[in-house]
Structure 1
Amino acid sequence: MKSMKYKKTTFIIVLSIAILTILFAIIAPIFAPNDPLATDFVRILEEPSDQYPLGTDQVGRCICSRILYGARVSLGMTFLLLVLLFILGVVIGIVAGMANGIVDTIIMRASDIVLSFPGLIFAIAIVGMLGPGMLNTIIALSVVWWTKYARLARVLVMSVKNSEYMDAGKMAGAGRLKLISHYVLPNIISPLIVQFALDIGGMMLTLSGLSFLGLGVQQPTPEWGNMLSEGRAYLQTAPWLLIYPGLAIFIVVAIFNTLGDMVRDILDPKHV
């Protein structure tokens, strides 16, 4: 009993921290001490000070302001992309699971083709062909990541489609859409939510990695990955250009990875 109460308390604390992180990113302009895009060539590579709490970069921009605004970009892109992939993958997976036959075969073979390539390398290749940028990054990762949710949704649908309550729904005259909304989705949504929660940290790292390589969000838009990329050349002379964006990525990813693990423990008690 104490262990369960402790887990619930810990989950509430971590969830609260995650929500506060998101809210903090949304209202970043209130806390940002300076304009994240304003340059001042007189104050290039300044160490942390009262005016610039985390110092300035190679063109005199405020690192603190860029990290705060970068949180909006990093978290915003992460959740936008995951929501799109979640909806797309679940819809495709449900269609495959309910249809069977040629439709199921085509969808699964398409996912097999995508999975035959290393995910990140495939995404890099797609962005390389389309050109760097936020939109092309979203397209590339959508091509790569949809299979995870589609295959999981299909397996879950296959496990419930022949159940007794599905037969009862069919006998009651429920159409296919009603069967999906009233009988399928309520019974498969928990594992899908768990997967969504576990993917937040990984998606954020992937997006930051693509930006670090110059393929994702482009300058001068503040984003943690491209801030790290810019700071590489100043590791010895101005290490704060790397330290603070790196810490931001580490802390936020750790928060959401911890939250994902706790969501899994709550919604998937059979997991060991």
Structure 2
Amino acid sequence: MLRVVFRGGAPVLLWRAVLVAVLLCGVGLLPWLSRTDPALTVLRARSAERTATPDVLDAIRAQLGLDAGPARLLGDWLGGLLHGDAGVSWISGAEVMPSVMQALGVSLLLMGGALVVAAVTAAGVCARTLRFGAGRRLDERRSAGTGSAFLATLPDFLTASVLASVVGVQLGWLPALGWYGPQWMVLPALSLGLPAGALLGRMLDDLLPGAFAEPWALAAAARGVHGRTVARQALRRCVPGLLPNLGLFVVGLTGGAVAVEQIFDIPGLGRLSLQAAVAQDLPVLQAGTLALVVLAAAVGGLARLGARLLIGPALRDGALPSLHRPTPSRPTTPPLLYGGLLLVVVVLGLARDPLELDTTARLRPPSWAHPFGTDALGRDVLARVGHGALDTLALAAAVSAAALLLGVLLGLLPRFSGPLADTVNAVPPVLAALLVTAVAGSGATTPALAVTAVAWAPLAAHTSALLRQETATTHLAATRGLGATPLQLLRHEVLPAVLPPVLRHALLRLPGVALSLAALGFLGLGAQPPSPEWGLLLSENQPYAERAPWASLAPAAALALLGAVAVTAGGGVTRPRSLRARARRRHA
């Protein structure tokens, strides 16, 4: 079996504790790392009209103990934490622990609703494979519909804006603002759960054909076992490979739902962390980060326990067949069609001026003169989508490639990367961007570094889950018994089996990477107006989603087309031909 670092449980716990300590120290040093005056930031957060005189700033420093330095502040905060006291907010003066626990409770409730929606969505994505997978040839199977690819690429803040304005305001079916009961949870849960469920469903649909091609499934189908029984066992076979990513989704939905909580005015932990990070309210930010880290560790432990309960004996005894399909599924629509549509849009947009202003044509609907309409400044949306394509696609592709490389390399060391991925995933996106900016400074490469710093985590979790199952396969045990070295096993057996599904996963996340890069514009990083970068177009036009939906739908459709190209092209990513032949012989 392949060896990894950190064999025992105690070193892993120690490594996790070191990561948490480093993260909390980084948060505590944030104002000093970013070379800003925390007293001035706190003053502006308390009262924007008050003049920042030296006497006023000195009084704030004395009140907060800033003169003692960051080490003393961090030590006092940790000392109080041992007694259940997380300090008081620098802005409001209220106790931190009650507010953080209340916000965490709201976020957990919202996360629970989003997971229900995600489970239903994932079931819908996999329904065709579960229904017809047993007893059918893999080369006759078609991949999940590209509608799930479009759904997986929808940005949550755009989905939230459309649901809030259409369902909540115009139709009045459900409340769109506040947090007062179960009805107020429906729209936010849909906004978070639909994209997450589509992504998880695509990943599960990618694994199911391999389970249906295993000898036990073929034998069961030949004996006339009911398809539902085979499908349930296939799910049990595939779910362990997704549990680590499901754990990451749980933590991400709890602390990373900042945009949705802002749009629906939900007092959750993501919104609280955003406000604390912007105002540099360190006690609140540290307590919120610690709560997310503890949640990440608990969810990660439950995911690993669930995987052991589902297929633990087979993992221990090395009795698993290979889960990876020997042939790719056939996409329902060729990627060239989506790529051609995207190329036509880009070429038509490049022929227009993206910066030309026409204040008399503000928020005009689509017409022959402006096929995608105009924005709030009268600029042609088609021109801005076309000119923003090159920067968006090039940077997103580079970041995705870097995240894929890091994810695979770290995923091959699961005991090292598992706690690291849990810790990184627990950091709210806004805090991750601020920490990267504080260390690397604000520059052209800062957005790429910030997104890469967190984008590798789900790919590493996926790699580790597949590695754990692949190293327990019977053919690998036989190859090892014939004298193959660990390096030979890694090169000729493990990597060719693990890389294709992880690469398909990375392609599915490509549009999300493009959106994450653009979201840093809100923090003064990345693309800034008047840049026509796609994510920035979504952000700029989001306030006009009700009056001029075309201004937001055009870049969203371009991102969806990008996602469709990535997903349908990813369906053709398979193992090398020689290894496919070997896999067919094993499945025969």
Name the TM-score, length of structure 2 as normaliser: 0.36
Aligned with residue 251 of structure 1, among 529, 550, 557 = 557
CA 124–14 in structure 1, closer or farther in 2 if over 3 Å, else same: farther
Alignment correspondent of 1:135 = 445
Question: Once the 2 structures are TM-superposed, how far is the Cα of residue 125 of structure 1 from its aligned partner?
Answer: 2.4
* Residues 93 and 153, structure 1, Cα contact 8 Å, conserved in 2: yes
Aligned with residue 195 of structure 1, among 493, 505, 508 = 505
Alignment correspondent of 1:223 = 533
Query: Residues of 2 paired with 1:209 and 1:81: CA distance?
Result: 15
Aligned with residue 122 of structure 1, among 418, 431, 434 = 431
Alignment correspondent of 1:181 = 491
Which amino acid in 2 is paired with 1:13? Answer: T
Alignment partner of 1:85 is 2:403: yes
Query: Residues of 1 paired with 2:540 and 2:492: CA distance?
Result: 51
* Residues 36 and 65, structure 1, Cα contact 8 Å, conserved in 2: yes
CA 22–135 in structure 1, closer or farther in 2 if over 3 Å, else same: farther
Question: Once the 2 structures are TM-superposed, how far is the Cα of residue 135 of structure 1 from its aligned partner?
Answer: 1.9
* Residues 34 and 65, structure 1, Cα contact 8 Å, conserved in 2: yes
Alignment correspondent of 2:515 = 205
CA 220–178 in structure 1, closer or farther in 2 if over 3 Å, else same: farther
* Residues 537 and 555, structure 2, Cα contact 8 Å, conserved in 1: no
Query: Residues of 2 paired with 1:214 and 1:110: CA distance?
Result: 27
CA 184–33 in structure 1, closer or farther in 2 if over 3 Å, else same: same
Aligned with residue 353 of structure 2, among 35, 41, 45 = 35
CA 252–59 in structure 1, closer or farther in 2 if over 3 Å, else same: closer
Query: Residues of 1 paired with 2:442 and 2:534: CA distance?
Result: 16
**Greater mean alpha carbon deviation, residues 125-134 or residues 79-88:** 125-134
Which amino acid in 1 is paired with 2:339? Answer: I
Q: How does 1:150-189 map to 2 (within 5 A)?
A: 150-189=460-499
Question: Once the 2 structures are TM-superposed, how far is the Cα of residue 127 of structure 1 from its aligned partner?
Answer: 5.3
* Residues 339 and 565, structure 2, Cα contact 8 Å, conserved in 1: no
* Residues 349 and 387, structure 2, Cα contact 8 Å, conserved in 1: no
1:75-116 Cα deviation digits (max 9, x unpaired): 33333222221121111212x15xxxxxx34x3332232133
Query: Residues of 1 paired with 2:520 and 2:341: CA distance?
Result: 23
* Residues 367 and 373, structure 2, Cα contact 8 Å, conserved in 1: yes
- Percentage of pairs with the same residue: 26
Secondary structure at the aligned position of 1:149 is classed as helix
**Greater mean alpha carbon deviation, residues 48-57 or residues 70-79:** 48-57
Alignment correspondent of 1:270 = none
Alignment correspondent of 2:333 = 13
* Residues 342 and 558, structure 2, Cα contact 8 Å, conserved in 1: no
* Residues 212 and 228, structure 1, Cα contact 8 Å, conserved in 2: no
Unaligned runs of 5+ in 2: 1-127, 134-139, 146-330, 575-588
Which amino acid in 2 is paired with 1:251? Answer: A
* Residues 388 and 534, structure 2, Cα contact 8 Å, conserved in 1: yes
Q: How does 1:47-126 map to 2 (within 5 A)?
A: 47=364, 53-54=371-372, 61-94=379-412, 96-97=413-414, 104-105=415-416, 107-118=417-428, 120-126=429-435
* Residues 93 and 152, structure 1, Cα contact 8 Å, conserved in 2: yes
CA 44–23 in structure 1, closer or farther in 2 if over 3 Å, else same: same
* Residues 45 and 56, structure 1, Cα contact 8 Å, conserved in 2: no
Alignment partner of 1:148 is 2:454: no
CA 180–227 in structure 1, closer or farther in 2 if over 3 Å, else same: same
* Residues 403 and 452, structure 2, Cα contact 8 Å, conserved in 1: yes
CA 45–66 in structure 1, closer or farther in 2 if over 3 Å, else same: farther
* Residues 214 and 226, structure 1, Cα contact 8 Å, conserved in 2: no
User: What do you get for the CA RMSD once the two structures are aligned?
Assistant: 4.1
Name the TM-score, length of structure 1 as normaliser: 0.69
Which amino acid in 2 is paired with 1:64? Answer: L
Which amino acid in 1 is paired with 2:332? Answer: I
Question: Once the 2 structures are TM-superposed, how far is the Cα of residue 33 of structure 1 from its aligned partner?
Answer: 2.9
* Residues 208 and 226, structure 1, Cα contact 8 Å, conserved in 2: yes
Secondary structure at the aligned position of 1:215 is classed as coil
